[in-house]
Amino acid sequence: MILRAVQNMDLPLFLLLLSWSTAVMASDEPFDCRFQVGALSYDLSPLESEQVITRDRPTPPTREVDSVRLSLCSDLKHEDDVSEEDQCPPGTRVCLTKINYKDDAKRIVSVIPIAQTSATLNPVYKTLSSPKGVSVLLHGSPYPHPINVTDAQQSVNITFLCDTSDPPTSPKFTSYDGAQLNLEWSTPQGCGFAADGGNHENEDSGNEKSGSGSLSSVGWFLLLLLVAFAAYMGLGAYFNYTTYGASGVDLIPHRDFWMEVPYMLRDVLSHLCSTVRPRRSANRGGYIAV
């Protein structure tokens, strides 16, 4: 019955294409601090505030300071008091600035966009077992390597170590080899929680996630579905109107199919109940769509 009703209609194909396109769009979203690795979910959004991590190195007769600006969940803000060439371009999440000091003179030596949403962030996640945590690798643009002139693809490997101690610590500069920056951050957000929602290892971040006002990915998916359905109805009605001069109920695209839906649901229900009582839809065998 159901198969007969949807025969010769491109609606299933349309729905298939729709769900496929929303799936692709979802994976195209920039890194928003929530992700899942295997059975564990992580929500790094409590760490979203901008961090500045510095490392001081003696380079006689000067002194070099590596300064990392890090904004995990959204792009770094433009610094109005710093000239354009001395800061990373818009769309940067992690920016490394090398500053050289000699006596009282300060010179910005290099400005390196380490992770950029304007390029491809292309996040790679890896859970760590001992010590427990998760590492997130984010990518940026190529930048000339310090020991030769070849461009080196920049990236940052941030290791979030599971640490529930109070007060929370700030991230640490581990190393930079001219291509990959390594940072380490001991934080409760490195612990993760069970992805199925039960057995929360980290109740705080779990609650924060559901408590925040923004839509979850499921919410976005349903919203997209609704918008697409409205567009389908609207465009279908417009098509029927302009092509066939339809009006009223005839405006509904695939009208025959939608009129069948209640009967199909009834069929499905009665089929499910058929173990209890005989199928009633048998009486309706000769039903013809109007």
- Least distance (Å) between residue 108 CB and ligand NAG: 23
Q: Which is nearer to ligand NAG, 148 or 283 (CB)?
A: 148
Pair type for strands 180-187 and 172-176: antiparallel
- Least distance (Å) between residue 130 CB and ligand NAG: 11
- Least distance (Å) between residue 201 CB and ligand NAG: 20
Number of Cβ within 10 Å of residue 261's Cβ equals: 11
Instruction: Give strand pairing partners of 134.
Output: 127, 160
The DSSP code for 103 is T
Where on the chain is the footprint of ligand NAG (CB under 6 A)? 126, 128, 135, 137, 145, 147-148, 150, 157, 159
With vertex at residue 223, the alpha carbon angle to CA 222 and CA 227, rounded to the nearest 5 degrees, is: 120
Q: Which is nearer to ligand NAG, 135 or 141 (CB)?
A: 135
Q: Which is nearer to ligand NAG, 87 or 155 (CB)?
A: 155
Residue 16 CB burial class (10 angstroms; 0-12, 13-18, ≥19): exposed
Number of Cβ within 10 Å of residue 245's Cβ equals: 8
- Least distance (Å) between residue 31 CB and ligand NAG: 15
Rounded to whole angstroms, the Cα distance separating 174 from 64 reads 16
- Least distance (Å) between residue 99 CB and ligand NAG: 23
Q: Which is nearer to ligand NAG, 185 or 193 (CB)?
A: 185
